[in-house]
Structure formats: structure tokens, C-alpha cells
Chain A
Amino acid sequence: MEFRDDVYLGITGIIVALAAYFALYIAPAEVTMGELVRVFYFHLPPAIICYLSLIVSVVTGLIYIRTKDFKYDALSESGALLGLVYGLITLISGAIWANATWGVYWNWDPRETTTLILWFAYLGYFLLRMSIENPERRASSAAVFNILAFMTVPLSYVSFILWPSLHPRLGGDDGGLGLTGTMVQALVMNIIGGVFVFGYVLKKTYDLRMKRDEYNSKLMEEM
């Protein structure tokens, strides 16, 4: 059966809308954080999309090194671009939440700081790509740089375990977010919505990148 972009996007829209409604109006307030816990339902999905995008980016970068097939370089670049976009959403939404709970937008918490380092590492990835004209050298250098930049992803993920941090964690013990029942359902629905969004934007970004290559090849042939 043929893949229908518009049907997939419609289903994604419905899931995201239902998940948002559930998070806003069905899930109850949390014991310590109150209504502000609802920020978490919309802060976590972009963070997951960011991490998933960068995992796709580094894995396909490694496959490119092995195969020298440019479609993997295109997928790797697409993943890195989405990592930047959703990384920025995560940083800004985190700052909004921090201001509401800690009273400041930014306080160099380990999770904030390592995520910012992650974001700049992948900004560097694109600066590197822009600085190299030869397509093969660009793809190879970017794939190698990607391996180094990706080290910031697990660092960001475990940062609040490695260093003292105010960043909320799941689990009611030791001061974590005590999500129960419908709160967990709201979180899972929003994560599923985020994964559907990720699937769509990754495919379309990859399509665009491949079409750009095709168009540039067409121009070169005409010259």
C-alpha cells in the first residue's frame, strides 16, 4: 500500500491534539508542582524528538562512512537539522519552566548547560558542512565530526545524575515528579504524538535534501 503523507499528517495532528487536550484538561495537577506540571507534557516530546533525530544522524553518518552512499549523508544531515530545531524548542521551553519554578530563566543547571553544549556542537556540524565544498570530503568530515558531537547527547541525558541538579526527574522518591494514573497516560500520549511528528518531519526533510541534490545535478548537466 502506498504511503500517504497527508493521511499520516492528519493522524499525527489528531494524536497531538488529543494528547494536548488530555494533558491540559484531563490529567490532574501534581502534588508539589501543581498545574505547572503540565509544562512537562509539552517540554519532554521536543526533547525526545531532538535525541531521536541526533541518534538517526549519528547512526546514518556511521553508515555513510562505511558505504559512501550519499543518501545516508542526506539522512544524517536531516537528523542533525531536526536536532537543532527541536533542541532549541527544548532549551526555550526549559527556560520558561525554570523561570516559573526557580524564578530565573537560566541558572547553568547541568541539564541546561549540557543541552546548550549539545546545541552548539551541532551548530558546529553545520558550520563545518558549509565550509567544505567537495561533497565527498564534506560528507566524510561531517560524519566524523558527528561522532564527536554526539558524545554530548548521553552527557546531556545523564547530566542530572552526574552532577547535583534541580532538573525534575520522574519518580516520586527523592523529590522527583510523582506522576500517576492519568498523568502517565497524558505523558505517554504526548510522547507518541512527538514520535509521529518526528517520523513526518524527518521523512520530509530527507525528501527535500534528496531533491536539492537532484536539482543541483540537473543544473550541472545543463551547464
Chain B
Amino acid sequence: MPNQVFQVLGLYLVTTIVYIAWIIKSNRDLDKKINS
């Protein structure tokens, strides 16, 4: 299997996972600030 296949899959998945982690954390942090 060519490396490029895994590079593109990794780019798509890692960016999506990092974005989702960031958005979940940011939402939680704001919930805490709003309710404090």
C-alpha cells in the first residue's frame, strides 16, 4: 500500500479528532465559566 494513502487518511482523521477534542474542551470550559 503506498505511503500517500496513509498520509491522507492520517491527515483527515487526526485533524478531525484534534478539532473535535478542541471543540468539546472549549464547550466544557465555557459551560463552567457561564455557570460560575
Contacts and interface: CB of A to CB of B under 8 A. Distances in A.
Mostly, the B contact residues are: helix
Interface residues of B, number: 22
Interface string A35-60: 11011001101100000000000000
A215 B31 CA distance: 9
Interface string A192-217: 00000100110011011001101100
A215 B26 CA distance: 12
Q: What is the size category of the interface that chain A forms with chain B?
A: 20 to 34
A92 interface: yes
Given A36-B4, A204-B23, A208-B26, A93 B34 contact: no
Interface string B1-36: 110110111011101100110011011001101100
Interface of A: 9, 16, 20, 24, 35-36, 38-39, 42-43, 45-46, 85, 89, 92-93, 96-97, 99-100, 197, 200-201, 204-205, 207-208, 211-212, 214-215, 218
